[in-house]
Chains A and B, each alone.
Chain A
Amino acid sequence: DIQMTQSPSTLSASVGDRVTITCRASQSISSWLAWYQQKPGKAPKLLIYKASSLESGVPSRFSGSGSGTEFTLTISSLQPDDFATYYCQQYKSYPLTFGGGTKAEIK
């Protein structure tokens, strides 16, 4: 199975900050990586697919990069609505696997 490791597990930031979350795969997944945002009590929402493609309707302050085993999700200017938990997921091979999550908290 491909293991997905996210860091940090928690981040504290202020509105307007630039934030970066890292996701590492235990083996190469090419660009078959997605990023999701989840708010408490809600379903996950797709933000980024194929490592760097922005899902329709997602604000342009979100961006993704990387390939192979190392990936990043960047929020260029953190907004109040962005305080949530973020997950990466590889969909190169079965079983599909998620990272452990990164919770973005208000500083």
Chain B
Amino acid sequence: EVQVEESGGGLVQPGGSLRLSCAASGFTFSDHYMDWVRQAPGKGLEWVGRTRNKANSYTTEYAASVKGRFTISRDDSKNSLYLQMDSLKTEDTAVYYCARVSVVLPAATDYWGQGTLVTVSS
């Protein structure tokens, strides 16, 4: 069974940092691109960024709203995805979802975790 599970959310002050993790199981993690998507309270979905797989040099893409502040990385040996968030702003408050990208590209995200809440507040 495909599973992805986020962790690491919590309360952080503006200007602070936080690192989210996503543990994957039930599929060959190293084959897949992976996304982060967020949802502010009561709002719609916002794509945060993507990491490609080893075959594509682990390159990344980011939304303009987080570029230069957030960094996506992965450790295929641990089947894990990470989101390092620096210089956090109040508008980064959201539930953050980790999502698997289907293997045949271009592809939609076909499995999502349950999300982890990040609250940026003083």
Binding site for B on A (CB under 8 A): 1, 32, 34, 36, 38, 42-46, 49-50, 55, 87, 89, 91-92, 94-101
Where chain A touches its partner, the secondary structure class is loop
Q: Which residue of A1, A34, A91, A100 contacts B44 across the interface (Cβ within 8 Å)?
A: A100
Q: Which residue of B46, B61, B108, B114 contacts A34 across the interface (Cβ within 8 Å)?
A: B108
Q: Inside 8 A of A95's CB, which chain B residues have their CB?
A: 47, 61-64
Where chain B touches its partner, the secondary structure class is strand
Binding site for A on B (CB under 8 A): 35, 37, 44-47, 50, 61-64, 97, 102, 106-115
Report the Cα distance A38→B115, complex, angstroms. Answer: 13
The reply to whether A55 and B110 form a contact with Cβ atoms under 8 Å apart is yes
The reply to whether A46 and B107 form a contact with Cβ atoms under 8 Å apart is no
Given A44-B97, A95-B64, also A49-B47 (CB < 8 A): no
Report the Cα distance A94→B60, complex, angstroms. Answer: 11
The reply to whether A46 and B115 form a contact with Cβ atoms under 8 Å apart is no
The reply to whether B61 and A94 form a contact with Cβ atoms under 8 Å apart is yes
CB distance from A51 to the nearest CB of B (A): 10
**23 A-B residue pairs with CB within 8 Å:** A1-B64, A34-B108, A36-B45, A43-B97, A43-B112, A43-B113, A43-B115, A45-B112, A46-B110, A49-B108, A49-B110, A50-B108, A55-B110, A87-B45, A89-B47, A91-B106, A91-B107, A94-B50, A95-B63, A97-B47, A98-B44, A101-B44, A101-B45
Q: Inside 8 A of B102's CB, which chain A residues have their CB?
A: 49
Name the residue among A32, A43, A44, A97 with the largest chain B CB count within 10 angstroms. A43
Q: Which residue of B45, B62, B108, B112 contacts A91 across the interface (Cβ within 8 Å)?
A: B108
